[in-house]
């Protein structure tokens, strides 16, 4: 048998296909999902503490809004920074750093004596949470190509679960123990991710991209043992050029480039071979975050005529019915996840995203008419959130698949960072225009953004469904 194996080779994708999706991948999924839940807790908590702090510390509306703004500002910076760290120093180092930077200031916020300290610590939390996508990039590199899309959508379900759990936690804690206890308990997932870090392993795809073939093979052997499967016969080799490279590159370009610095990685994203995808992805991410957070705000504006507090999330009053509104809105994401999980592998990434945009546009269209029945308005907005959630998740899968391993985290990081611009702009449209009795103008803006995003999706040159992930880019 050994003599027959002489001269045989296999690639990383062939190895992962042979190993299958087994116990090892389930453990990786659970850890990555825990990181996603930690991110959801720290973002969703903004929905509850702003109004309470406004009363306790006598904040102005601008000061209250700044509580949310600083978090997204920290995320905008962190999204790019953590991509640079994980692409240059390893996925495990990125996981550890993100967990530390998120957990420590999140817990310390509980003891904040005043508003300034609160802002300083929350911007640090935002900086850490900005690296939440690192968990997904790490998970992606352990999944066989034939089921990659479905399992990544399942991973995104942890975010929705996190938003639901945070809403339930707020319903119980806020009326009794107050906001400091809510902050303390909400940091538990971040600390759990930090403590469980010791059980993680480096991505074999990252190791292969760095030329550490022997180390990658050792990880694959561990996966085979845990999954009770076997590696293909032969020796592990890496692909330097794949079909995806050939579609992205211009003829005659064959010089392999390796970028070590963050600036160089950004230049790679904007290189001739990747520029079109990068710019289109940036527009899609801005459109998705603008629409996602905007729809949340629209839901609150239309469902609560007495709303007086503005933030990037839903308006929360000291009333159990309003906590339930947040919970119900979060549950609306579950069918979106189910739709995307089914469609992403059957219909492909591009077709599914375009289809979700079209239906989202149709759901928002009736809102151009004023004074719709409250139940109909709520149904339309919940349907829109369901669809934009599905699109959000699929675009994250596509973005990770389109970039080579050497800049994968930088690619998704910069795209996520660009997306925060949409999150910062959406309150201006969803809150200010609606409050100023310009509902039709607000809906037209949302429809225009969705149309632009759908157009960008259709212009993506490559469908990544079932394709092998690439490790290096030849330019």
Closest CA to 253 of 245, 265, 243: 245
Closest CA to 65 of 45, 46, 37, 78: 46
Asked whether residue 313 carries a pLDDT value surpassing 50, the answer given is no
User: Any idea which of 12-21, 46-55, 410-419 has the lowest mean pLDDT?
Assistant: 46-55
Structure tokens at 126: 């935002």
CATH value at residue 446: 1.20.1250.20
Is 351 or 153 the better-scoring residue by pLDDT? 351
pLDDT at residue number 204 = 87
**CA distance linking residue 434 with residue 315, whole number of Å:** 14
DSSP-based three-state secondary structure for 235: strand
Inter-residue contact 240 to 255 (CB < 8 Å): no
Question: Is the C-alpha dihedral spanning 274, 280, 284, 287 positive or negative?
Answer: positive
User: Among 24-33, 51-60, 176-185, 455-464, which is the least confidently predicted range?
Assistant: 51-60
Residue 2 within a domain: no
Query: Rounded to an integer, what distance in angstroms lies between the CA atom of residue 126 and that of residue 199?
Result: 25
Least confident window among 42-51, 419-428, 462-471 = 462-471
pLDDT at res. 320: 54
Which whole number is the average pLDDT over 77-88? 79
Does 120 reside within a domain?
Answer: yes
Query: What pLDDT was estimated at residue 462?
Result: 80
Q: Are residues 437 and 288 in the same domain?
A: yes
Do 68 and 112 fall within a single domain? yes
| Residue scoring higher pLDDT (375 or 228) | 228
More confident residue, 51 or 151: 151
Beta bridge partners of 235: 9
| In 228-348, alpha helices (H) | 243-248, 262-269, 275-303, 320-331, 333-346
| Contact indicator for 64, 50 with CB cutoff of 8 Å | yes
Do 300 and 206 belong together in one domain? Answer: no
CA atoms of 67 and 54, how far apart (whole Å): 10
Helix (H, G, I), strand (E, B) or coil at 45: coil
Residue 394 lies in a domain: yes
67 neighbors 53 (Cβ within 8 angstroms): yes
Quote the number of domains for the chain. 2
Inter-residue contact 291 to 285 (CB < 8 Å): no
Same domain? For 170 and 100 the reply is yes
Predicted pLDDT at 424: 73
Q: Which long-range contacts (CB under 8 A, 24 or more apart) does 428-434 make?
A: 429/290, 429/294, 430/293, 430/294, 430/295, 430/297, 430/298, 430/301, 431/297, 431/301, 431/310, 434/298, 434/301, 434/302
The structure's pTM equals 0.71
> Residue 319: is its pLDDT beyond 70?
no
- Asked whether the beta carbons of 84 and 265 are under 8 A apart, the reply is yes
Mean pLDDT of 367-372: 76
Domain boundary, last residue among 205, 239, 273:
239
- Shared domain check, 374 and 422: yes
- Residue 210 within a domain: yes
Taking the C-alpha atoms of residue 81 and residue 79, their distance in angstroms, rounded to an integer, is: 6
Tokens 């669809």 found at: 387
**Portion of the chain with pLDDT greater than 90, in percent:** 11
User: Which range is least confidently modeled, 39-53, 157-171, 200-214, 270-284?
Assistant: 39-53
Domain ends where: 222, 239, 256? 239
* Residue 5 belongs to some domain of the structure: no
Same domain, 25 and 157: yes
Q: Both tokens of residue 109?
A: 């916020």
Structural domain contains residue 259: no
Q: Over 50: is that where the pLDDT of 353 sits?
A: yes
**Res 450: pLDDT:** 92
Question: What's the whole-number mean pLDDT along residues 279-301?
Answer: 82
* 20-44 per-position pLDDT tens digit: 888 898 999 999 999 989 988 888 7
Its domain, for residue 43, covers 10-239
Does 209 map to a domain?
A: yes
Alpha carbon 195 to chain centroid distance? Answer: 22
Mean pLDDT of 412-420: 80
| Cβ-contact 443, 115 below 8 angstroms | no
Residue 316: pLDDT above 90? no
The token duo for 125 is: 């939390």
Considering 13-17, 254-258, 361-365, the range whose residues carry the highest mean pLDDT is 361-365
DSSP 206-222: HHHHTT-HHHHHHHHHH
**Dihedral over Cα of 164, 169, 172, 175: its sign:** negative
- The per-residue pLDDT for 251 is 38
Residue holding tokens 């850890």?
31
Q: Are residues 234 and 113 in the same domain?
A: yes
Q: Does residue 222 share a domain with residue 356?
A: no
CB atoms near residue 247 (< 10 Å): 11
> Within a domain: residue 360?
yes
Q: Considering only residues 431 and 330, tell me which one the structure prediction assigns the higher pLDDT.
A: 330
Question: Does residue 97 surpass a pLDDT of 80?
Answer: yes
Same domain, 149 and 45: yes
Query: In terms of domains, do 229 and 273 share one?
Result: no
Interval 55-66 mean pLDDT: 74
In the chain, the N- to C-terminal Cα span, in Å, equals 40
Segment 107-126, tens digit of pLDDT = 898 898 888 999 899 889 98
Q: What is the per-residue pLDDT across 128-171, written as a single tens digit (0 to 9) for each?
A: 888 888 898 888 888 887 777 778 778 888 888 888 888 888 88
Q: What are phi and psi of 164, to 5 degrees?
A: -65, -45
DSSP state of 9: E
CA–CA gap between residue 314 and residue 302 (Å, rounded)? 11
Q: Residue 461 CA to chain centroid, in angstroms?
A: 22
Q: 184 and 290: one domain?
A: no
Indicate if 233 and 289 belong to the same structural domain: no
- Mean model confidence pLDDT for the chain: 78
């Amino acid at each position: 048998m050994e003599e027959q194996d002489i001269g045989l080779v296999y690639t990383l994708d062939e190895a992962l296909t042979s190993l299958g999706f087994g116990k090892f991948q389930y453990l990786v999924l659970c850890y990555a999902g825990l990181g996603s839940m930690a991110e959801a807790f720290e973002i969703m908590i903004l929905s509850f503490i702003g109004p309470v702090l406004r009363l306790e510390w006598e904040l102005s509306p601008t000061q209250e809004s700044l509580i949310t703004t600083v978090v997204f500002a920290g995320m905008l910076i962190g999204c790019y920074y953590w991509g640079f760290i994980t692409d240059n120093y390893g996925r495990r180092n990125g996981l550890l750093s993100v967990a530390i930077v998120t957990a420590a200031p999140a817990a310390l916020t509980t003891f904040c004596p005043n508003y300034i300290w609160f802002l300083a610590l929350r911007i640090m939390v935002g900086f850490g949470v900005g690296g939440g996508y690192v968990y997904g990039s790490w998970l992606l590199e352990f999944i066989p190509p034939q089921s990659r899309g479905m399992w990544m959508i399942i991973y995104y379900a942890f975010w929705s679960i996190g938003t639901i759990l945070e809403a339930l936690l707020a319903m119980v804690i806020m009326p009794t123990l107050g906001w400091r206890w809510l902050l303390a308990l909400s940091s538990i997932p971040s600390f759990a991710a930090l403590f469980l870090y010791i059980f993680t392993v480096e991505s074999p795809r990252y190791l292969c991209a760095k030329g550490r073939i022997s180390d990658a093979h050792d990880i694959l052997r561990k996966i085979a043992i845990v999954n009770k499967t076997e590696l293909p016969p032969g020796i592990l080799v890496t692909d330097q050029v794949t079909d995806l490279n050939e579609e992205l590159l211009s003829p005659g370009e064959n010089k392999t480039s390796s970028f070590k610095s963050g600036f160089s990685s950004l230049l790679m994203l904007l290189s001739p071979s990747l520029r079109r995808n990068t710019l289109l992805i940036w527009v899609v991410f801005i459109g998705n975050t603008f629409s996602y957070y905007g729809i949340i705000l629209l839901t609150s504006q239309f469902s609560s005529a007495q709303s007086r507090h503005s933030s990037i999330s839903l308006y929360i009053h000291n009333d159990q019915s309003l906590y339930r509104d947040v919970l119900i809105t979060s549950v609306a994401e579950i069918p979106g996840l189910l739709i995307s999980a089914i469609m992403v592998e059957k219909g492909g990434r591009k077709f599914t995203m375009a289809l979700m945009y079209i239906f989202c546009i149709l759901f928002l269209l009736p809102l151009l008419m004023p004074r719709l029945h409250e139940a109909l308005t709520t149904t339309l907005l919940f349907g829109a959130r369901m669809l934009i959630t599905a699109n959000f998740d699929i675009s994250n899968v596509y973005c990770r698949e389109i970039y080579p391993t050497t800049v994968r985290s930088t690619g998704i990081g910069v795209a996520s960072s660009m997306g925060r611009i949409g999150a910062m702009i959406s309150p201006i449209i969803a809150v200010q225009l609606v409050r100023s009795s310009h509902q039709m103008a607000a809906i037209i803006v949302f429809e225009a953004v969705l149309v632009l995003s759908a157009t960008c999706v259709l212009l993506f040159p490559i469908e990544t469904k079932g394709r092998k992930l690439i490790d290096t880019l030849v330019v």
